[in-house]
Amino acid sequence: MKRLLHLALAALTLTALSAFAQTQGVSADTVTLGAFGPITGPAAYIGLAGRDGMMLAVKEINASGGVNGRKINVVFEDDTHSPTRALAAVKKLVEQDKVFAIMSVGGSNATVGAVDYVREKNIPMYVSIASAPPVTWPHARNMFRGGTTETARYGELYAEFLAAYYKAKKIAIMSGREEYPRNEGDATVEKLKSWFNLEPAMRVEFNIGDKDFTSQLVQVQKANPDVIAFFGNPAEAAIAMRQAKELGLTQPFFVGSNMVDPALVSVARQSAEGVAGFSLIPLLPGSKDAEMVKWETAWRKEYPSAPAGRPNNFDLLAHGDMYVVAEGLKRAGKDLTTDKFITALEGVQNYRVGAVATPRTFSTKHHIGNLTLVPMIVTKGAWEPVAGWQSTHESDILKRY
């Protein structure tokens, strides 16, 4: 009898192990996720923050018992903000590290390099920061976008704000020559035309990392716009805003959502006063709100030697999105499979980890988790919500799904 019992237990164990073996990255006590973002290079401020925010959430989730009895393990790769490096990183994560799912905490420029491969392999990929359209359009069941939003939604909100808030008739656009800022500029131009019958008075481009914007600003000055929309990185924006004042330009600046962060004010100082943009999160780092103070206290305890300007928005985005991924894993159940995980995420409605994150919502028809952004303006050296303004134009985004 005892021998039969041992044999039965051995058979059950083999069955369980066989089930785990069928799902890559899943064992009896762990689920292994892959992640990538720029730890070095011009966009390291995105990837370092994304990694740290994500890993803080992983530590908190594991300390609370993990997900369905499994601890989350993360293998992270540096993409250097390069599409080629991102593709190589994701191939390694999938083919060598055998991860269950992928999380991108990098920018659009790199993330787009891995999209086709991930779609082909049908590995679940959850994108926290990149807004590049190919992540969620055309729709693929294994691709999800979290705290960020699709570039087309930026274009809608930016165009409406420029036309309605500033009541601008002449708009100058300065945009960088890479995936994210170029997409923002294109989407804004498209909606200005289709919604408000407005063409840019001037559009000029620059390279990420440029230190001199004089030639572009002189062209903008000749166009004499009502407002200047700037799409790039905080470092370039701070220089451009300072040089604009030196040239005598007094028009207000509007910036992309990646620059609605206390770091821009710290770098640009007085030049940032009056700058407006849209935030992907309801509370910015440095807010005195009790929930933000609590979150920052936990973050600083984990990263006591972090440089100035941290935590930033990307810490918050990735932290919130890691909790969304964990919620999907939890809802998928103990018998975790790719299909069950995707189905679970598609059932997430208005989920948020707390007041420091926007709600995330997915469906079987679309995987854009966040369509709500907060308009903000720099007032007395700090970002504040724009009082009395909200979008009234119906979005076109979900109509195509």
**CA–CA distance from 145 to each of 124, 167, 195, 238, 335 (Å)?**
11, 32, 25, 29, 25
Q: Residue 255: beta bridge partners?
A: 230, 277
In the block, tokens 């269950």 appear at 100
Pair of tokens at residue 331: 């809802």
* Sequence-distant (≥ 6) Cβ neighbours of residue 27 within 8 angstroms: 20, 70
Q: Is 166 exposed, middle or buried (0-12, 13-18, 19+ CB in 10 A)?
A: middle
Pair of tokens at residue 367: 């995987």
How confident is residue 175, by pLDDT bands cut at 50, 70 and 90? very high
DSSP per position, 6-47: HHHHHHHHHHHHHHHHHSTTB-SSEEEEEEEE-SSSTTHHHH
User: Residues 187-202: pLDDT tens digits?
Assistant: 999 999 999 999 999 9
DSSP per position, 128-190: SS---GGGTSS--TTEEE-SS--HHHHHHHHHHIIIIIS--SSEEEEEESSHHHHHHHHHHHH
User: Residues 292-344: pLDDT tens digits?
Assistant: 999 999 999 999 999 988 999 999 999 999 999 999 999 999 999 999 999 99
- 255 three-class SS: strand
135 pLDDT higher than 70: yes
Residue length of the chain: 401
User: Residues 198-251: pLDDT tens digits?
Assistant: 999 999 999 988 999 999 999 999 999 999 999 999 999 999 999 999 999 999
pLDDT for res 208 = 86
Pair of tokens at residue 232: 């790039």
Q: Which of 3-17, 138-152, 268-282 has the lowest mean pLDDT?
A: 3-17
Q: What is the DSSP letter of 384?
A: E
Which of the pair, 286 or 120, is modelled with greater confidence?
120
Distance of alpha carbon 67 from alpha carbon 390, whole angstroms? 38
Residue type, 13: T
- Crossing angle between the packed helical segments 313-332 and 290-302, to the nearest 10 degrees: 90
pLDDT for res 400 = 86
Pair of tokens at residue 262: 């206390």
How confident is residue 103, by pLDDT bands cut at 50, 70 and 90? very high
55 pLDDT higher than 80: yes
pLDDT for res 22 = 74
Q: Which of 141-150, 161-170, 385-394 has the lowest mean pLDDT?
A: 385-394
Q: Is 219 exposed, middle or buried (0-12, 13-18, 19+ CB in 10 A)?
A: middle
Distance of alpha carbon 161 from alpha carbon 391, whole angstroms? 8
pLDDT for res 34 = 98
Pair of tokens at residue 263: 């770091």
Q: What is this structure's pTM?
A: 0.88
Which of the pair, 268 or 369, is modelled with greater confidence?
369
**CA–CA distance from 88 to each of 21, 180, 326 (Å)?**
25, 20, 26
pLDDT for res 3 = 52
Task: Please say whether the dihedral angle defined by the alpha carbons of residues 363, 136, 320 and 344, taken in this order, is positive or negative.
Answer: positive
How confident is residue 357, by pLDDT bands cut at 50, 70 and 90? very high
User: Residues 28-45: pLDDT tens digits?
Assistant: 999 999 999 999 998 999
How confident is residue 16, by pLDDT bands cut at 50, 70 and 90? very low
1 pLDDT higher than 50: no
If you average pLDDT over every residue of the chain, what do you get? Answer: 93
11 pLDDT higher than 90: no
Pair of tokens at residue 163: 């036309």
